[in-house]
Every structure is written in structure tokens, then in C-alpha cells.
Chain A
Amino acid sequence: MAEPNRLDGGRIDRASPLTFSFDGKTFAGYRGDTLASALLAANVKLVGRSFKYHRPRGILTAGSEEPNALVGLHRGARHDPNARATTVELHDGLVAVSQNRWPSLAFDVMAVNDVLSRFLTAGFYYKTFMWPKRFWEKFYEPAIRSAAGLGALSGEPDPDRYDTGFLHCDLLVVGGGPAGLAAAMTAARSGARVILADEDFVLGGRLNAETVTLDGEPAAVWLRRALDELHAAHNVRLMPRTSVFGAYDHGVYGALERVADHLAVAPAHLPRQVLWRIRSRRAVLCAGATERPIAFANNDRPGIMLAGAMRAYANRWAVAADRTVAVFTNNDDGHRTASDLLARGVSVAAVIDARPDAHAQGNYELHRGAIVENTRGRKALTSVDVRRADGSRVTVPCGALGVSGGWNPAVALTCHQRGRPSWDASLAAFVPGADLPPGMAVAGAANGSFSTHAALQSGADAASHALAELGFEAPAAALPLAEDAPVRIQAFWHVASGKGRTWLDFQNDVTVKDVGLAVQEGFRSVEHVKRYTTLGMATDQGKLANTGAIAALADLTGRGMGETGTTMFRPPWTPVPIAAFAGRSRGKDFRPARLTPSHDWAAEQGAVFVEAGLWLRAQYFPRPGETHWRQTVDREVRAVRQAVGVCDVTTLGKVDVQGSDAAAFLNMIYCNGFSKLPVSRVRYGLMLREDGMVMDDGTAARLADDHFVVTTTTANAALVYRHMEFVRQCLRSDLDVQLVSTTEAWAQYAVAGPHARALLAGIVDPPFDLGDDAFPYMACAELTVCGGVTARLFRISFSGERAYEIAVPACYGDSLIRVLMQAGAPHGVTPYGTEALGVLRIEKGHPAGNELNGQTSPAHLSMARLVSTKKDSIGAVLSRREGLSEADGLRLVGLEAMDGETALPAGSHLFAPGRPHDPGHDEGWITSAAYSPHLGRSIALAFLARGDSRLGETIEIANPLQGQTLRATVVHPVFIDPEGTRLHG
């Protein structure tokens, strides 16, 4: 529990001590610590193993760019792999484990890869594991995946909740450092709606990590005041712990808010993380900058970290990376680290500055024009080998080395809409290009304005300018006096001398030599080199490695930095869990479910439900003793054929069509005629697409001269309504017709079977006459039932039996089905589901979704004669074109299994007996299949070439998926009552 590296001061809450564990060992820390700062305080330097070579790795950074210190958090289903220890906010009881090592972090068997490294360079997999080809999937890939890699998921469902949401603002400020705070304060005073988001859990950015003064006082004093002012402003929303990860179209930004990750125990119902879509009118990017390392031999040893991170640990978290440190730099910023650590009582062994003209900024030994050639220490740094300007060499003992190769402005979000950064030689950095996402401005270090003064000023100016464009008066906030040091840097990327590998990409184990190999193999484009070497991939997305790699590539190809260019930056800036994208839409809430008014009744009956689009429909109603679904379905089918059945058909689409041209409109959308349909009659309608294929079928009932009710299939309800609106608004706006969807307003039930009329007679109100003369097949009426409830009755049949569909306002649906069961009991009423519905319609040869699959013409359905030639209708002309209407084309037929019960699998293809089963001899396929209890054998509907002229023929059915070949007889598709005597009663 000792903290040998903890210093005094810092911005941690020493009154709130915490304990946590890492690899099973208990450690102490404070509120305000990150996992990384607490581990460093305890002098834990080895925290992970590298991806490929399993090299020992330590904490490199103090932010979201961390490539090394990836750990697994939490136990069991909550296990969270690849968490960056540098961003994990410490809480009491936190459990963390190291990754990618076996059996332990200190002794990792796979470190043998490192010994074999000369064989494992870039492109190794591509060259080595190509043959035999079939080995890749079964052997090589699994073997490589288990040897390399990072953390693993628990494999259990994530027990946490996630949420998504939408925010709106005039100005989005991305980043809460000095630039972002100045921008937000300026905007706050204008009255504009402002959101300030920062990925850190405290706002202030580098102000928390530096010893700079503002107005002569420590930065913390001004920072407190600034945050108080922003907290008090009602028009400002402060969002710490929120990473803005993507810049999308129209000022929309994606942001991930970590709501509960820092809580030991979260309240019930609290989402762990929220994915926000922020719609901003303007945005100021104040994302700061990321320090970059210098590549030199063995620059990945634990204890070597970025100089700015070393300073941040000392100043913000009161942690020395070691009691004796050294610094390797090519710019003045490295010297800040030396002087800050000296001031805190840490021993600075030396500052090695690559610049011959460097100046010391404190009382430490400075090697000018010097470089670090190598490092020593097994699992932690013990010394560095320095070559001085005069060529002499010296060994500098130190437990930690701070490295500064300069700072990269965080330009990623400026590039999310294909913008490219440009090279600024004076800063030795890529800065945002001219092609920013619309509405975005960049300020502070993200724009290459590195001093505190420049950050504050540019933030305030950017906000002021953006808001002026929106019409707000927003004078720049009064800013405190701050340092305005110029950037003094000499570009220096990697040390060419020295023995050992020089690491560019710590996360993917890519060295300068690997880039050289890629160039040697002929790769020139930075994008190709990235893919060949894997540089810049994985969780850190090359935040540290890119510039160094571009420099190495530029060097080798003799091009400049700007000419070489960067790879494309894409969202997300930091990793976003898939669970956060899903939000609440997971498990049974993945999508909404549509329930019919009598859903609860069906559930009470023990119905098995099936998804039909978003609807849940009763598939069948098992009774005690029925052990197989087909027993149930056969019973339901027989009940309809012999007595009466009731089926919920509420899900069918219903469109109310009114207007003086309503009949003309239906004539347009249906290929068959509707203008002569008498009032109180229903007609089957076939709807074609423009290309002549069948879109949908259904019925239209004429309730009045200017009033029809159209029904559609369940699946196509929305499609057909949209199509009808398109025709109404765009093709025939001359017609007087109004459309209103009433699918939701009516509960509708099919009452089918020989006793259907007797059942209905028990509920319709007098004097309505259900007699066949008064209410024949295809009649319809508006009436009342059960003592005055409005209803609609249609005498239509999908089953081929005497059948009716009765509709009542949806609130009465539940009650009506119960009444139908009660009133029907003496008549043997049976509820039936979609499965029996399917069997009944197959027996009757009615096409449904399986037949109307978008490739079916009226001729295929033997309905070509239905397409009226006496009028124009959508699709009529094209339905007659060659290929859709030829006499020897596909026709809908019925098939009867020759051996009775063996199922004829839908999707099987048809062949003439004895012909080869290949595409050249294919004669059609089965669309729908069922066991017909009525016929006592398996039957099917199929499309068969010249089918209408082949009744009685034997056909061979190939089902290669199950290695089946069956035989069936071709029959008329109407298996039952082709004369329709049952239908008419």
C-alpha cells in the first residue's frame, strides 16, 4: 500500500483515500487519481505486454492517446477489456488486471516472440501463412489470434444499461482547456446555448498539469473562478467525461459521456454511458495537442514516458515517475518537465537535447546536441546511453526518462469530412487545413497556438467570431495575463545510430525498420504503408505514432512531410463501445413490437407468437396433450373446414380512400377494374409496380360512391400506403382523393367455416340480415354489433370456406374476441393462428408473400387476364412485355407429394424426372408448402415452367441442402373446392 513516488501537493483529494487492486495485489490511491497515476505512485512500472512481441511495457502518456497501459477492468460479465489506465478514474474497490500475458505479467511465455522478432517483421503473415490456403482459416488465424492481441470480452451479456440522446446548441466547444474555457466564457456571456465537452473528468486541460500562472496567480485560482462562472450560467452545459468522437454532417457531433464508470456503486437505472448526438450551429475545436515520442533503440522500456505526461503526473497527481529522472527532448517543452520536477524535489539526472543551441532552464546537467542511443533495464528502466555532441558516450542512470519530440495538434475532428491537415515547418507539426467541416473553427493548441496566452485569446476570438455569424453579440471574455512562450523546436524524429529496435507504434509493435521494409517492398503511399505495417491501427489510432512514421517514410522516399501527408482520420477519436451505439435498443427492446388489441387474450390462451414484421401474431394455439405444433395446426385447420374458426387479422393494412375520384384512383393503382364495383361490394385487387411485377394484393370494399376501404397484406401495409400517397401526390394530383391509414384504428377478425354465419348471427344487431341473398359472397356493410358498437362486416374468404371479416374500433378488439369465443362455443368455434391460416390458403391456392416476392408477374400467377385492357393502370403495359408474359413461362401450380406425408420443402427446385439437377435444366421452384389435413398429404404451391399445361405430370424435387430428391404430381393450384361451393355456402 506504500506510495514511494507520491509527492506533496497536486490536485488530488487526499481526504478521500481509495483502495484498488491490480493483478490481485492491493494498492492505495486518492479520489482524483487515475489508475495510471496511482500505479506510478506505487512505483509499478510494468503494466502490460505489447501486442505482437509481448515486450514489457509501461505507462507512456497521461491521456486518451495511451497505447501501452491497456488493462482489463472489473470481474465477470462487467469485465471491460482494453481500458486505458491513463483515463480510468480511480474508485474504491476498482479491480484491474493486465492483458496479453501468460502465465503472468512478469513472466510471459509468449515473450519468445521477441526473440524471434527478426522473422516477424511487417508483412510476415502475408508472406508466411499463404499456403496451404485452407490452413489460414482453421489453423493459422486462430493460432495467431491467440498469440497476439489485447484484452478479451467476458463472453457474457453486458449487464449494464446504456442510453442515447440528442442535444442542441448554438456553440459546441470541444475541449475544456484554456482555449475551450475562454471560448465557453465568451459564448456564455452572449446568451447563446453552449455545450462544453471534455473527455477528462476535470475541466481545465493542461492548466491542471502545468505550473503556469494566470494574472500572477496559480492557474488553479483562475480555473476555479472560470468554472464557477460557467456552472452558474444557465445557458451553458458543462460535460466532463465526454469524448466528442466524430464530426458529422450539418454540425452534428457524436459524443460519448461516461456517466457511471467512475462510481463504485451506481444507482439503479443509471446508464453507464450515453451516446449523444449533438446538433450544433457552430463548433470550436479546442482539443489541444498530443505530445509525440522520439524513436530510439529500446525506447519502449517501462519507465520511458512522454515528458509532458511526466510533468502532468508530478503537477496534477503529485506523482514522480521515479525519484531520479532524465529528459530527452528536441524542444523547450522538455525543459519545462526538468524544471518542474526539480522544483518538486525529484532528482533530474540529465536533460539530453538534440539541439546544439539548447539552453538550460534550471539547475540540471544539459547535454546539448546529444541523443539517446539505447536504454537499459529488464522490466524497468535503469539507465540510458547518451551520445554527446562531440561523439563521446555517457551512461545516465535514471528510473524514468521523459521524451518530447514536440506536440501534434489534435486535428482528427477537422478531418472527419475529408479535410487534410497541412504541414507547418516552424512548429514541426501538422495543423488543421483550410477544409474544415462546415461551422467548425479551431483554437488553441489544436490550431498550433501553443502558449497559454495564445490558447486563451484564440479560444475567445473563435467563439466571438462564430457567434457573431449567428447574430449574437459576443465580445471576447476578459482574459487573464498568461505566458506567451514561442515554440522553439528542431524537428528530430528518430535516432539512426544505436543497436536495437526503434519503436514508432507502441500499440502495434511497428519499428522504423518496418517502415523501411515497406518502402523496400515498393509501398510509397502513407495509406499503403499503414496497412502493410499495421502502423496507426487499433485503439489509439496512431495518435503517437503517425508523425514519426510519416517522417521515416518522408526520409526514405526523399519527400517532404507535407508531400508525404497523413493517413485519413476517421471517427471515432476514442473507442466507443458498441453497446453505447445500441443504447436502449437491445434484447427484447432491440426494436419496438406491435401488438394487436387482443394480444393479451391470445397470450392467455397460451398462443405461440411469431414475428411478422414488427407485429407479434398468434402462430397457433396449442392445447393440453398436443406435443407437436402440427397436431395443433391440423386441429385448427379441420375446425375451420368443419365448424368455425376465428383468426386475428388486425395486422392487415387498411387505407381509407375517399373523394369524388376515389374509384378512378383505385383504377389507377389496381390493374383490375374498380369503377363498376357496386356500393356494398368487395373486390379482389391486384396491384402492380411500374415494371409490371406484382406489388401486393388485397381487397377494396366500396362503402359509398366516394368511399372505399383498401386492405393490404400485413407485410406490405406501409409500402402500399406510401405508394398510394406517391400516386396521389405526384402522379395524379388532379384527382380528388384523400387517403388516411386506419390500420391502427380497427381490430379485425376473420370468422371462417360452415358455421361462421351462425356464430355472427349471435352478435350482429337486428335488423341486419346475414342471409345469403341479402349478404352474399363479396358483400360488405357498416352495421352495429353487440348492442350498438359500430362495426364493418366483409364477406371475404382466404380459407375457401364461408367466411367473414368483422372489424370494430380497436378498443373493442379484446372484448370482441372474447364474445366471439363465447357466442361461438355452441358452434364449435376454434381460434386459429397464422400457421393454420397459411395451410388454409395453400389448400385454396391463394398467393401470399412467398409467391409475391417481387419477381412475379400476373402471368406467372395465371392472372394475366385480370390486367384490364380497357383502362390504364400502373404496371399494366410493362406486365405484357416479353419475358413476363410468354406462354411457356412460369405458372403457379399445385404439387401433391407422391408418398403422402413427406414434406415438400419450400425453396426446392423442380426438374423433369431423370434430367440432371443443374441450372440448365431447372424448371421452377416451390414457394409454399404445407401438410394438408384435408387431403391427408403434403402439398405445395410452385412456379413451374409451362405449369398450366402439365397437370398430372410427375416432377422431381431437388433439395440439395438436405440431399433429398422427392417426387410429386403437378395439380391445379386450387386443391380444395375449385367450384367454390363451400365459399358461397
Chain B
Amino acid sequence: MVDHRLAPRSALAGQTSPLAVAGRVLSEVAGLAMVSVAARSAEDAAVADRLAVLAGAPMPEPGRCIGDASLRILWTGPGQWLAIARASEWPGLAAMLRDSTDGKASVVPQDDGWTCMAMEGHDLDTVLERLTPLDTRAMEAGHASRTPIHHVGVFLLCIEPGRCAHILAPRSYARSVHHALADALRASAALESMGT
């Protein structure tokens, strides 16, 4: 019997990533583990408490996320969160969450359901204003919101105001969203090249 092995391939494999445009960089954040946690009936508070122990911080309010690049937890609905972690640092994240919530939550691995793109550089708001109806200039680190970008419902996470944003796009849409982000980066750069 031939020994067949599977190799992972990210949604943006084959695209120019990272893409650098005039001092700004768009890249795919690969190697992430993502897990949805939804509290069972009347267990919202208990689950939030247990997750807080794991994450070392209280669970985020609506429109917010907590944590850092190692483990970030995003509010996705009443009693629902999405944990995003570096897979290398959090092996078996789903099992860990299942254990820690101990039957009080439904835990669903989403590993490749979302593609995370990071946009970094100067004056990001002048790029993002071409993409999202959100007022990104009013966003602080830890703000996170659902928003349409190029007709696709994505999560926009403010990592550092004006300097770094993460965009979580449903995997199947990743190339279209990446194309829109790249297009906006190039348009902004062209505009800046004109001066005022």
C-alpha cells in the first residue's frame, strides 16, 4: 500500500504574500488555530469565567477582542467567542477549550474557516476608508467588528490604531478580499505619490 500523506495549503498560497506597497505590507497570517466556543443555555457567565482563566483576561465585550498574537479571543455573538491562536504555541486548542469548559459550551474547530490577513504600515486609515464603512479612526487596539469589505462579511480587528489591522475573511472569499485590499493599498500609494 502506498503511503499517502496530506500537506496543508493556505487559502492565499500562490498569491503574492506578503505584498509590500509603498511602505505598507499585506500578508497572510498562517499557522493559526481557530475554535468557536458557544455557551450552552444559561452557562454564558460560567463559560466566560473559565475562558478568562485560560486566556488570563476577562472575555471581551461586544465589538472587542482580547489577547495578543499568541492567543486572541474575539466576541462573535451573545455567549459566543472565536479563539484564534498560534497553532505552534497552542497545540490541541480545541481539546483544551473543551476540557476547560467541561460540557458547558459547544466547541467547534474552525481552523481553516477564516483566513487572517494583516495590513501593516503608516496611515492605514487612508487605506481602510476605501474598504469599510467602519470609522477606523475611532477604533482603538482591541476593537473588532463585523464589516463588509468588497461585499464580503469580514471581521476587522484593530491591533494598533492606524498601524496594524487584521482582517478575517471566510476562506473561500480570501482571494477576492485580498485582491480588494491590495487594490486599495495601490490606490492609496498612487494618491500619496501625487502629494497635495
- Residues of A with Cβ closer than 8 Å to B? 161, 163-168, 193, 259, 263, 266-271, 274, 277, 279, 584-585, 589, 591-597, 600, 614-615, 656, 658-660, 707, 735-736, 738-740, 742-745, 762-763, 785-787, 789, 808-816, 819, 822-823
Contacts and interface: CB of A to CB of B under 8 A. Distances in A.
B69 interface: no
A789 B4 CA distance: 11
Contact of A592 (B38, B176, B184): B176
- The 9 A-B residue pairs with the shortest CB-CB distance, nearest first, are A592-B176, A658-B106, A810-B112, A745-B113, A738-B38, A594-B172, A744-B113, A270-B190, A736-B41
B100 to A, nearest CB: 16
A593 B175 contact: yes
B17 interface: no
Nearest to B114: A744
A589 B173 CA distance: 12
B152 interface: yes
13 contacts: A166-B129, A166-B132, A168-B138, A279-B135, A585-B151, A591-B151, A592-B173, A595-B175, A742-B108, A809-B109, A814-B9, A815-B6, A819-B4
A745 B131 CA distance: 25
A600 B10 CA distance: 12
B187 A815 contact: no
B2 A823 contact: yes
A161 B9 contact: no
Nearest to B189: A269
A164 B150 CA distance: 10
B167 interface: no
A687 B131 CA distance: 37
Contacts, number: 164
A738 B137 CA distance: 35
Contacts of A614: 173
A815 B9 contact: yes
Given A592-B150, A594-B173, A763-B4, A277 B187 contact: no
Nearest to B180: A584
Nearest to A761: B1
Contact of B111 (A259, A270, A277, A811): A811
B64 interface: no
Given A165-B130, A811-B9, 13 more contacts: A277-B133, A279-B133, A584-B150, A597-B11, A597-B112, A658-B38, A740-B106, A762-B2, A786-B6, A811-B111, A812-B9, A815-B6, A816-B6
B16 interface: no
Given A164-B130, A166-B132, A279-B135, A595 B14 contact: no
B112 A745 contact: yes
Contacts of A592: 150-152, 173, 176-177, 180
A744 B4 contact: no
A815 B36 CA distance: 25
Contacts of A707: 106
B59 to A, nearest CB: 16
B193 interface: yes
B172 A595 contact: yes
Contacts of A813: 9
A168 B137 contact: yes
B1 A810 contact: no
Interface string B168-189: 0011110111011001101101
Contacts of B150: 584-585, 589, 592
A745 B110 contact: yes
A738 to B, nearest CB: 4
B180 A740 contact: no
Given A592-B151, A740-B110, A165 B129 contact: yes
B190 A268 contact: yes
Contacts of B114: 744
B137 A808 contact: no
Nearest to B135: A168
Contacts of A270: 187, 190-191, 194
Contacts of A808: 6
Nearest to A725: B77
B91 to A, nearest CB: 13
Interface string B3-39: 1111111110010000000000000000000001011
Nearest to A271: B187
A168 B137 CA distance: 9
B112 A744 contact: yes
A893 B3 CA distance: 47
A924 B125 CA distance: 58
Given A658-B108, A812-B6, A815-B6, A584 B183 contact: yes
Interface string B64-93: 000000000000000010000000000000
B187 A161 contact: yes
A815 B135 contact: no
Contacts of B80: 738
B163 interface: no
A811 B110 CA distance: 11
B106 A659 contact: yes
A656 B110 CA distance: 11
A951 to B, nearest CB: 43
A589 B184 CA distance: 13
A735 B130 CA distance: 42
B127 to A, nearest CB: 10
Contacts of A595: 172, 175
A786 B5 contact: yes
Contact of A787 (B5, B109, B131): B5
A819 B8 CA distance: 13
Nearest to A601: B9
Interface in B105-157: 105-106, 108-114, 129-135, 137-138, 150-152
A403 to B, nearest CB: 38
